């Protein structure tokens, strides 16, 4: 999840699943449109939103690459594999 701020609420962040973002536009305020049809006006610029998404995805990949091998195999299903 990425932390963003609704327009005019700089001290009240909310968390958004970036996998739901369909597009980000500036008119001149930044509008985030989700695949669900929801729209959010946020304080961040489109470049800042993009940077947050990139950092979030890089963190997921980094965690996966640095995960101990014993956890990487079957960790989610509880089955030990040789």
Read off the pLDDT of each residue in 67-78 and give the average, rounded to a whole number: 62
Transcribe 53-66 into DSSP letters.
HHHHHHHHHHHHHT
With H, G, I as helix, E, B as strand and everything else as coil, classify residue 25: strand
Can you give the pLDDT at residue 67?
80
User: What pLDDT band is residue 77 in, cutting at 50, 70 and 90?
Assistant: low
11 exposure class (CB count in 10 Å sphere: 0-12, 13-18, 19+): exposed
> Cα(54)–Cα(19) distance, rounded to whole angstroms?
12
Q: CA 10 to CA 45: how far, in whole Å? A: 13
Does this model's pTM top 0.75? My answer is yes
């Amino acid at each position: 999840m990425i932390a963003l701020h609704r327009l005019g609420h700089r001290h009240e962040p909310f968390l958004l699943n970036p996998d739901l973002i369909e597009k980000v536009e500036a008119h001149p305020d930044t509008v985030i449109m989700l695949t669900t049809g929801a729209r959010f006006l946020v304080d961040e610029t489109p470049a800042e939103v993009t940077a947050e998404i990139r950092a979030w995805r890089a963190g997921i990949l980094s965690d996966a690459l640095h995960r101990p091998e014993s956890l990487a195999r079957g960790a989610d299903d509880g089955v030990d594999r040789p």
